[in-house]
Chains A and B, each alone.
Chain A
Amino acid sequence: MSQTAEQPSMKSVDSESVPVGLRGLGKDYGGFTALRSLDLNVPDGTCFGFLGPNGAGKTTTIKIMTNLIRPTRGRATLFGIDVQRDPKKALGYVGAVIETPEFYGYLSPLETLAYAGRLRGMPKTEIERRSDEVLKAVKLTAWADHRIQEFSKGMKQRLAIAQALLHEPDLLILDEPTSGLDPRGMAEIRDVIKALKGEGRTIFMSSHLLAEVQEVCDEVSLLNHGTLLLRGSVRELSRRPGVSAFKATFLRPPSDRELEILRGFPHVEEVTPGSDGGVDLRIEGGDEVQAAILGAMIGAGLRVTSFRTIGSALEQLYLEHIEESDHL
């Protein structure tokens, strides 16, 4: 069962010391409200997906959490420490990648990591050891001594992730972490995130790539127009009963009469013939209903060659909520 934005998280949460605690967080830019009043707790050890379309307020939230901008109202705490009041202490436990950061072109990745490590007070030997490890993890070892001014956007994104991991942070804040990467790079970064998740680290990750979030995250929230629309565990949201879209293909395109039969099945909301001879179906119900409809189609003499969902349940849920909130 999905949770509404107001409901508490499923895990036991001490709201004073959770890795991420947002209380009535809001941000206005002149007359424009980028974030209304966001309340959110992210429990320890959770990989949390922060979903929403462009302009939803995801990056604004993350920028407040990392002290790049100030909230107009409310407050953000990291491990119970107010980011605005004591940014040095609050950010000490955090590694962050925000948008695709630029680096100093005159430095190499090793020098950049040494800069970040020294600012954090890491000993030299520790910086060297960790630099080797994180550059290996993001596949930049061969470029360790090259100046960053030669780097592509994807390489800079890898370096951004490397610097966020350098000090083995308890909380990783990632804003569109696979942005700018090719498919192979995206898969590699997802593997890195999954490995971190396996180590029990808390990850707060914004994305509009639903498949990515579904693959990596335990919990998700959905934001649009600066308002939290929904929150819940990925597993439960992905299994929720509701309207799902399916694509059915047949040995030969169904006739008008056969389409009418399809429209007459219980729980079928909509039937749309496709140009490829297949049919798009919108079905209300869970696995049992879907199985029953497949059986009914075969029983009606339709020679079904495939029957599959269009997009994930999470994607459909996302689209429904975004569409609803856009119309408000």
Chain B
Amino acid sequence: MSASPVSQALTVTAYEIRKYFRGRRLPGMLVLLALIIGLILGLPPALGIAYASDPNLFVASFTNFAALLIVLGGVLFAADALVSEHEKRTGYFLFPNPVRREVLVIGKIAASLFTSIVIVTLYYGAASTAALIVTGALTWEIWLSYLYALAYVACVIGVAFLISSSLKGTVSATVLTFFLFTLIFGIIQGVLPLANVDPWFIPSAAAGIIGNVLSPGGPIPGPGGGFIEIYVPDVATSLAVFALYFLASALLATFLFRRRELSS
């Protein structure tokens, strides 16, 4: 009597998703999602501002927050997925079962990807529906933006799992994942151009393609009357960066999780 690795991974995925549904994280995320959508749709008319008539520009007002939403998904649904088995001692139940650690990692990554993709899909679904109602049209670029967002989801989830496999505490893993994507990558992305280095390999820079496909960015007004040029790598490079971060991080996370001992 032995389950196949695929069947075991699917079981782990199902139970991880159940965890998100029964915990406060998914409901909290859905509330946040509703709040963001409500503000984007509700504020302009409340302030007497007309909606954009172009569907791409209309949806672009949503994609401004897509990257942050994706990072929050990584923080809530991935950052503590591995480390919690050690810190909360649930590994004493899970690990003595005849299941390989890499199967556990794959199952957990699949659950995190699924949950984050659901969030992003709901977000883009709401944006697209609103765009269709307001502008009467949808464009191919909106779909592309959605697909780029999904690629960024994979990148964030992969890195979050790497952090989760490396750190000892759930809080530190969660905090580091959040600040890595919202602050640390942003600082590096801002500083590298000063040394004439294009930050094409920084995920937050590559994530610029999510909005860029809808409203290609030019220089934006900066402090002191100057202009800031936001660097966004080309689409192929950005997608390659996402893929590389996901694969490298997931493989390293699996290796570290396999090696890690449950000695607490």
Contact = CB atoms under 8 A, between A and B. Distances in A.
A201 interface: no
A108 to B, nearest CB: 11
Interface residues of B, number: 28
Given A106-B19, A121-B1, A68 B261 contact: yes
Interface string B2-36: 11100110011001001100110000000000000
Interface in A65-86: 66-70
B90 interface: yes
Interface string B227-264: 00000000000000000000000000000000001110
B211 to A, nearest CB: 36
B25 to A, nearest CB: 11
Interface stretch (B65-73, B94-102, B118-126): B94-102
Contacts of A115: 11, 15
A104 B2 contact: no
Contacts of B95: 66-68
B90 A63 contact: no
Ranked 7 nearest A-B pairs via Cβ: A121-B3, A101-B92, A106-B22, A102-B89, A69-B261, A96-B96, A68-B262
A307 interface: no
A88 B90 contact: no
B98 A87 contact: yes
A87 B101 CA distance: 10
Nearest to A126: B1
Contact of A92 (B1, B89, B93): B1
B91 interface: yes
Interface string A92-106: 101010111111101
Q: B11, B97, B99, B100 — which one has the most chain A CB atoms within 10 A of its CB?
A: B97
Contacts of A99: 89, 92
Given A68-B262, A115-B15, A88 B92 contact: no
Contacts of B263: 29, 63, 68-69
B90 A104 contact: yes
Given A69-B263, A101-B89, A101-B93, A119 B99 contact: yes
Nearest to A173: B96
B97 A116 contact: yes
A98 B93 CA distance: 8
Contacts of A68: 91-92, 95-96, 261-263
Contacts of A160: 93
B216 to A, nearest CB: 45
Nearest to A95: B96
Interface in A86-135: 87-92, 94, 96, 98-104, 106-107, 111-112, 115-116, 118-122
Contacts of B99: 88, 119
A163 interface: yes
Contact of B18 (A101, A103, A106, A173): A106
Contacts of A167: 1
Given A70-B261, A101-B93, A103-B93, A119 B19 contact: no
A70 B261 CA distance: 7
Contacts of A121: 1-4, 7
B19 A91 contact: no
Nearest to A88: B98
Given A92-B1, A102-B88, A106-B23, A120 B97 contact: yes
